[in-house]
Structure 1
Amino acid sequence: MKLIILDRDGVINEDSDNYIKSVDEWQPVPGSIEAIANLSKAGFTIAVATNQSGLGRGYYSQQTLNDMHGKMLGLVEEQGGSIACIKFCPHTPVDNCDCRKPQPGLVRQIEKELDVSSAGAWFVGDSAKDIEVARSCDCLPVLVKSGKGMRTLSSGMGLNDVAIFDNLLAFSKSVIRD
């Protein structure tokens, strides 16, 4: 199984410092749905690992999150692709859980559900937390410049081992080509 793990906000959909709180606010990053569909059709198994502290903060309900994910899945399926699993952390930073990135809990949940090791899988994100969890789980870290990616690039964190792409579509084209 060729596994690719994707962060959600800023990678698949547009991000907001005020949180994505409704299905209407959930808008795909241009090219991201096509990218997921193309990766899926090329034989990759796609999983999503996303911090969703807006749940824990009471900004939206579990049903709203389900509806956002339903929209995402529907758009990918319309293009002939699929997402194998979505794992999310509903906790706030003060909860000290093991599933909030950069902790490895979401990746471990993906491994368990898909019965696969994440070692050597691509982990595509737009934040330092995504890079940190990728490294801690022996994934291949990828930073996209969409979402908070430009902020992450300018943060000064070491990115020598990180592949950097403009967005998920550019990453997908590179991976499929190779």
Structure 2
Amino acid sequence: MGSSVTSQLRAVLFDRDGTLVVDVPYNSDPGMVRAMPGAKSVLDSLRARGLAVGVISNQSGVARGILTEADVAGVNARVEELLGPFDVWEVCFHGPSDGCACRKPEPGMVHSACRRLGTHPSEAGLVGDIGSDLGAAEAAGARGVLVPTQVTRSEEITAAKLVARDLAGAVDLLLGGA
């Protein structure tokens, strides 16, 4: 019944801010976390299909001295309270000039998440709201889907191979429209 694309997809990774939750720049307050519309039902449907779900998040506020790692952990815990458990979390605390291998659009967090999940990047999809999310997916060999928000630049939308209106549409694209 399912297409070969469906059988190959074993994990869906999501950007946190602007994708799973409403973006609050450098948020340190779990009370300000708000789920994006439809996020919980999309995640629950992936879990019900037996697919792994994970979060891949740049948090440069730590390197910038605006947030602590504990602040980020508190916000992430609230994300799980609202959206359910994730199989893997990958967070980069580095700043843009640190030259790390993890910060999106570098592929490090995608590679690490897939390693931890026991999947190959070709079996993973990554859903995000900006070009660096898709850059990380492409660099890692995963399939990226852009779900634009008001902060997504038009050139990022134009450059994206797969664009969806919302999270449900993004997952449909990853599942081959099934």
TM bracket (short chain) = 0.7 to 0.9
Equivalent position SS for 2:144: strand
Structure 2 counterpart of 1:94, which letter? Answer: S
**TM-score, normalization: structure 1?**
0.84
Distance 1:103 1:89 in 2: 11
Residue 15 of structure 1 contacts residue 147 of structure 1 at CA under 8 Å; is this kept in 2? no
- 1:140 matched to 2:150? The reply is no
- 1:96 matched to 2:99? The reply is yes
- % identity of equivalent residues: 24
Alignment of 1:1-150 (within 5 A): 2-16=10-24, 18-77=25-84, 82-146=85-149, 148=151
Structure 2 counterpart of 1:140, which letter? Answer: R
Report how far residue 13 of structure 1 moved: 0.7
Unmatched runs of 5 consecutive residues or more in structure 1:
none
More displaced 10-residue stretch of structure 1: 129-138 or 166-175: 166-175
Unmatched runs of 5 consecutive residues or more in structure 2:
1-8
Distance 1:70 1:32 in 2: 16
Equivalent position SS for 1:48: strand
Alignment length, in residue pairs? 169
Query: What's the Cα RMSD here?
Result: 2.1
Distance 2:177 2:77 in 1: 29
| Equivalence for 1:164 | 163
Residue 146 of structure 1 contacts residue 166 of structure 1 at CA under 8 Å; is this kept in 2? no
Report how far residue 69 of structure 1 moved: 1.1
Distance 2:33 2:65 in 1: 17
**TM-score, normalization: structure 2?**
0.84
Cα gap change, 1:156/1:2 in structure 2, threshold over 3 Å: closer, same or farther? closer
